[in-house]
């Protein structure tokens, strides 16, 4: 689980770094979608590295229970992990609060289409839940003799990670294919355009994300008659 988390963060760091590079002749719209691609790779590690391996390990322990030694050491490690994951979650929530100060941010964490934020948030929340479950299961295994609970806890952890990984993969796939703005965002754009007196009607609005905070809009507008070319360009 820990190794998988390290790999996930590494992939996200690579994606964020590459996506921040400036546009070039080869990439005229920039490389913003890099973060979507590397998030998809991270989701595969969440499913395979954390999820499936935890389920397999849990099944092995369920059918072949083993005594747990060095319980105090395990409890100390779990306690430290709980503290670190909680600190990470608090820092993430602070980042989210700061983004609310941005006038282009409406309070919804998905408005930026930033998969890195969701991955870190999901991993922190799930890790805290998993640590609590594992702590209880190990305590019950050592002091109550319920050895099978250790295996059930590992299966529980694995299933949570598989579900999270599948959701992240789905989101990353949509972003790679070319997902657009939400309907309410398109409606806000429509209202702004229609507020311009010289606009007769909006024929079509299309959008696509080319990165975390970069959207390309294609707007087909019908202007009112008798406008000159200069007036249209000014509008």
pLDDT over 80 (residue 116): no
| Percent with pLDDT over 70 in the chain | 91
d(CA 66, CA 147): 7
CA distance 39 to 16: 10
- In whole angstroms, what is the distance from residue 225 CA to residue 115 CA? 45
pLDDT of residue 198: 93
- Whether pLDDT at 67 is above 80: no
How far from chain centre, in Å, is Cα 128?
Answer: 17
Q: What is the DSSP letter of 20?
A: T
For the four alpha carbons of 227, 230, 231 and 233, in that order, the dihedral sign comes to: positive
Q: Pick from 211, 215, 161: which is nearest to 36 by CA?
A: 211
Within 13 A of 169's CA, how many CA atoms are on the CB side?
13
* Rounded distance between C-alpha atoms, residue 190 and residue 88, angstroms: 39
d(CA 135, CA 80): 12
Is the pLDDT score of 176 beyond 60? yes
Mean pLDDT within 106-113: 47
By the 10 Å C-beta count (0-12 exposed, 13-18 middle, 19+ buried), 196 is classed as exposed
Q: Which helix (H) or strand (E) holds 67?
A: none
Q: Is the pTM of this model over 0.75?
A: no
For 120-159, the pLDDT digits (tens) are 788 788 888 888 988 888 888 888 888 888 888 889 888 9
Span 193-215, average pLDDT:
89
Q: What is the DSSP string of 120-144?
A: HHHHHHHHHHHHHHHHHHHHHHHHS
Q: State phi, psi for 127 to the nearest 5 degrees.
A: -65, -40
Within the chain, residue ranges assigned H as helices are 2-19, 34-45, 53-63, 71-100, 115-143, 148-177, 183-194, 229-234
């Amino acid at each position: 689980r820990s190794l998988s988390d390290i790999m996930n963060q590494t992939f996200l760091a690579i994606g964020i770094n590459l996506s921040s590079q400036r546009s070039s002749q080869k990439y005229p719209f920039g490389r913003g979608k890099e973060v979507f691609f590397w998030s998809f790779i991270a989701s595969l590690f969440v499913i395979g590295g954390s999820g499936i391996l935890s389920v397999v390990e849990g099944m092995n322990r369920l059918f072949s229970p083993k005594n747990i030694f060095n319980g105090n050491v395990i409890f100390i490690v779990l306690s430290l992990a709980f503290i670190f994951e909680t600190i990470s979650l608090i820092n993430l929530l602070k980042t989210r609060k700061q983004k609310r100060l941005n006038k282009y941010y409406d309070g919804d964490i998905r408005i930026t289409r930033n998969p890195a934020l969701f991955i870190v948030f999901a991993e922190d929340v799930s890790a805290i839940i998993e640590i609590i479950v594992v702590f209880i299961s190990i305590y019950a295994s050592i002091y109550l003799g319920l050895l099978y609970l250790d295996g059930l806890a590992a299966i529980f952890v694995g299933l949570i990670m598989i579900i999270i990984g599948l959701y992240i993969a789905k989101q990353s796939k949509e972003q790679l294919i070319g997902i657009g703005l939400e309907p309410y965002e398109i409606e806000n754009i429509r209202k702004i355009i229609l507020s311009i007196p010289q606009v007769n009607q909006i024929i079509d609005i299309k959008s696509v994300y080319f990165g975390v905070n970069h959207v390309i809009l294609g707007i087909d507008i019908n202007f009112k008659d008798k406008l000159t070319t200069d007036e249209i360009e000014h509008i």
